[in-house]
Structure 1
Amino acid sequence: MADGVIRDILERSIDELPDELRSVFVACVVDGMSPEQFAELFALTSETVEARLHNARSLLVEVLMRQFGGVYQLDDCRSERIANAVIDRLFPRR
């Protein structure tokens, strides 16, 4: 049951990202497109794509912290550790 709750929280959290961050996060992190491919496809610089990936990951941690804190009644420090661990495990940095 916990896996289902975490999956739902993660999906809702990704959905909360702004469009420009969500699209690059899903394309590059979830679907495995390289940042260079994304940049070329959407006529962006690699630096812009990398910045958006960084911002998406940071915002996702914040959203997950709120979600985990609400579900599990955790303090901010523990929520942040859990959120980072979930993201690192599911979406390792390249």
Structure 2
Amino acid sequence: MIQIQGNAALAVDSDRVQADRIGRGDVDAFERVMRDNNSRLFRVVRAMVPDDSEAEDIVQETYVRAYQHIMDFRGEASLSSWLVRIAINETHDRRRRSRPTVELDEISNVRPMDILRGDSTCGAGQASPEAAVARAQIRRCLERAIGNLPAGMRDVFALRALEEYSVQEVAELLGIRPEAVKTRYHRAKALLQSAIDEEIHQSLKEAFPFGGRTCDRVVAATLARLGLADDR
């Protein structure tokens, strides 16, 4: 179980109140939860799937499942972590239905730079003189490189690097040993390698942006699917 202390415990108490309100049919409370968690869920899921559209679908499905099972929320971890767990499970379910995953042993001979050279625009020499444009190019290169990671590494990297979960939290969310989390995270960083290593920290803050219109679209679509659009 993820350990909760101090301010985190107070946050979980607040989460229980939110969950209780949602369970009583408070649509505004549900919308607040969605808007508070949209960016995090999208970033985690988008790092695990090939495109924005599928990521949005999974985020919507996560909220639908959470709403339908809100009374199952026990407050053992934060509401945010509970939603992330649902999103991960939905992503893994879709992955199993669509195609087999790549096992870690299958990429033992892959060279890191082969992954990073998947697009010729990734090279530092192609960057614009404008810092903002250069960072955008690096971010896109980084997103492609993350997308090319084997599934198990990609999941760990998304949670550890993008959302800064602890090793123990990632292990619990993915149902693997902490040692496996450390190993996969180390290998993932090695595969992402030198061309973007120096830019990773800044680029991750901007990776997979979740703009206002997209946020509104996910909220509206989720409320419509649940028949709650007219209950505002």
5+ residue gaps in structure 2? 1-132, 205-232
1:85 equivalenced with 2:181 (yes/no): no
Q: TM-score, normalised by structure 2?
A: 0.29
Q: Which amino acid aligns with 2:181?
A: V
Kindly provide the CA deviation profile for residues 23-60 of structure 1, in whole angstroms up to 9, marking residues without a partner as x. Answer: 10001110121110111222211111000000010011
Within the candidate set 148, 155, 168, 1:16 is matched to: 148
Question: 1:43 is matched with which residue?
Answer: 175
Higher relative helix content:
1
> Are residues 41 and 4 of structure 1, via their aligned partners in 2, closer, same or farther at CA, if it must alter by over 3 Å?
closer
Q: Normalization by structure 1: what TM-score?
A: 0.66
Task: Rate the CA distance shift 1:56–1:44 in 2: closer, same or farther, 3 A.
Answer: same
Unmatched 5+ stretches in structure 1: 62-79
Give the Cα–Cα distance (whole angstroms) in 2 for the partners of residues 5 and 88 of structure 1: 15
Q: What is the distance in 2 between the residues matched to 1:88 and 1:4?
A: 13
**C-alpha deviation, 1:3, in angstroms:** 1.8
> Which residue of structure 1 aligns with residue 214 of structure 2?
none
When structure 1 is superposed on structure 2, of 27-36 and 48-57 the one drifting more is: 27-36
Q: Given the alignment of the two structures, is residue 25 of structure 1 paired with residue 157 of structure 2, yes or no? A: yes
CA distance in 2, matches of 1:50, 1:11: 21
CA RMSD of aligned residues (A): 1.7
* Aligned positions, number: 72
Q: Give the SS at the match of 2:170.
A: helix
